[in-house]
Structure 1
Amino acid sequence: MDTRTIRRTKVALPSLDEPGLALSDVTSLEDMHGRVTGFRYADAKVRELDLAGAQLVEGRVSGCTAERTRLDAVRADSVEFSCCELPALSWTGSKLSRIVFRECRLMGAALEGLALDNVLFEKCKLDYATFARVRALGPVIFSGCSLREAAFIGSDLRAALFDDCDLRLTEFGDGTYRGLDLRGNDLSAVRGVSALKRVIIDRVQMPQLADALAGELDVTFGADLDDV
């Protein structure tokens, strides 16, 4: 079984290259029975991708572009998304297991009510994305991703890890973050420092959190005041 491990977090990846597993090319992810299995969906350019109540099982989605993508109650298991451009992605009320997003542009994505179990985001653009009520039921890794001005709201990230990510103005709102591994990131410009109780960091990141807190409090340093 393929895995990706960073520090103490190990994500199980889709096993799509195993002998005997043949992926069939499809021209659409829509199926009359709501289930697409053993598929390869590549290089499609569509104006709108809209799925509801479907299942995506054992497949690859690569090089696809959609102006608007809406996935509601779409369960995905053992699927790899690579080099996709899905601005205005909305994915709600679903469970994702053994999923990889690799080098995808998901800027402004709205991910709401998702349960994540063994999910890897690798070198993805997630700037301005919103993660609302997202639960990491199993390990979740963000590696080398850009999350500028992204927001986590009411989420449970106890089983998550961020590594070498751009977290400038990333907001951590109310949620559960105990055990969240934030080592290997610059935390000096994150928002919501007070919510990050019992996370895991390195000692060298303490000054970064202090800078972030000072920015949130909008403090004035005495040394910067003009002498009267």
Structure 2
Amino acid sequence: MRTTTVGDVTILLPDLDPEDLDQVADLPIDDIRDGLVDGVSWRGEQFADQSIRGCRITGADLGEVSWEAGALYGCEIVGTDLSGATLTGISIERCSFTGSRFTGTRLTDVRLKDVLFDNCRFDYATLNRVSAAGSVAFTNCTLGHGSWSSCRLSGTALRSCDLSDLELESCRLDGADLQGSRLHHFRTPLDNLQGVALGADQLPDLTRLAVEALSIVVRTEG
């Protein structure tokens, strides 16, 4: 069993042996299992009620795919482009994403459990009703200029991420670990941050959020 720990979050990772995987080039009409998906281009393809299980996906172009229902389980995704993709009602469990791109991606009603996003780009991405059913971590990710609404991400680790211009609305992040993350122009109601963990160096950004939320007028004497 392979695990990794980010702060207080321990994630169960996929444990794949490339020698046990079969090369996959063409997109099948049914589920994909135990496959090695390397450098394929399935850009703009449609997935419906399909599952991808026990696969290693590297250098793939999955930009603008539309995936509704189904599951991604026990997979490693490395250097893969999912820009502009639409993921709706899928479950992602025991998966790791490394150096992958989600620019402009839309995730709706997505369930996450034991998922690690490392050095990924989520700039301009939209997350709506995304929930963490288990351990989830974002490390060294770019999440700026995105929009998250009605997400339930309690206890999630967002370590050393760029949250610049990320907008949160009606989200639950209680117990989330935001230490080391950049909060420049981070936009959220204060109650979305109830119970999060921050570093001392992030307190000026938190003060700015509080001043803006409470419409406090700061004046110099004289």
| Both structures adopt the same fold (TM-score exceeding 0.5) | yes
Task: Answer yes or no: is 1:173 the counterpart of 2:137.
Answer: no
Give the Cα–Cα distance (whole angstroms) in 2 for the partners of residues 214 and 30 of structure 1. 54
Q: Deviations over 1:126-146 (max 9, x none)?
A: 101111101100010000000
User: Would the alpha carbon gap of residues 191 and 62 (structure 1) be closer, same or farther in structure 2, given more than 3 Å must change?
Assistant: same
More strand by share: 1
Task: Answer yes or no: is 1:158 the counterpart of 2:151.
Answer: no
How far apart are residue 218 of structure 1 and its match?
Answer: 7.0
Q: Which residue matches 2:207?
A: 210
Q: Contact between 1:145 and 1:165, CA under 8 Å: does it hold in 2?
A: yes
Q: Contact between 1:30 and 1:51, CA under 8 Å: does it hold in 2?
A: no
Task: Answer yes or no: is 1:27 the counterpart of 2:25.
Answer: yes
Q: Deviations over 1:112-162 (max 9, x none)?
A: 101100001110111011111011000100000001111221011113110
Q: Contact between 2:14 and 2:96, CA under 8 Å: does it hold in 1?
A: yes
Q: Which residue matches 1:197?
A: 194
Cα RMSD over matched residues?
2.0
How far apart are residue 213 of structure 1 and its match?
Answer: 3.6
Q: Contact between 1:188 and 1:211, CA under 8 Å: does it hold in 2?
A: no
Could you tell which deviates more after superposition, 82-91 or 110-119?
Answer: 82-91
For residues 100-139 of structure 1, what are the structure 2 equivalents within 5 Å? Answer: 100-139=96-135
Q: Which residue matches 2:7?
A: 7
Scaled by the length of structure 2, the TM-score of the pair is 0.91
Aligned-partner residue type, residue 2 of structure 2: D
Give structure 1 stretches of 5+ with no counterpart.
none
Q: Which residue matches 2:68?
A: 72
Give the Cα–Cα distance (whole angstroms) in 1 for the partners of residues 147 and 218 of structure 2. 28
Give the Cα–Cα distance (whole angstroms) in 1 for the partners of residues 179 and 189 of structure 2. 15
Scaled by the length of structure 1, the TM-score of the pair is 0.89
Give structure 2 stretches of 5+ with no counterpart.
none
Question: Following TM superposition, where does structure 1 have runs of at least 4 consecutive aligned residues deviating by more than 4 angstroms?
Answer: 215-220
Give the Cα–Cα distance (whole angstroms) in 2 for the partners of residues 212 and 199 of structure 1. 14
How far apart are residue 201 of structure 1 and its match?
Answer: 1.8
Q: Contact between 2:80 and 2:100, CA under 8 Å: does it hold in 1?
A: yes
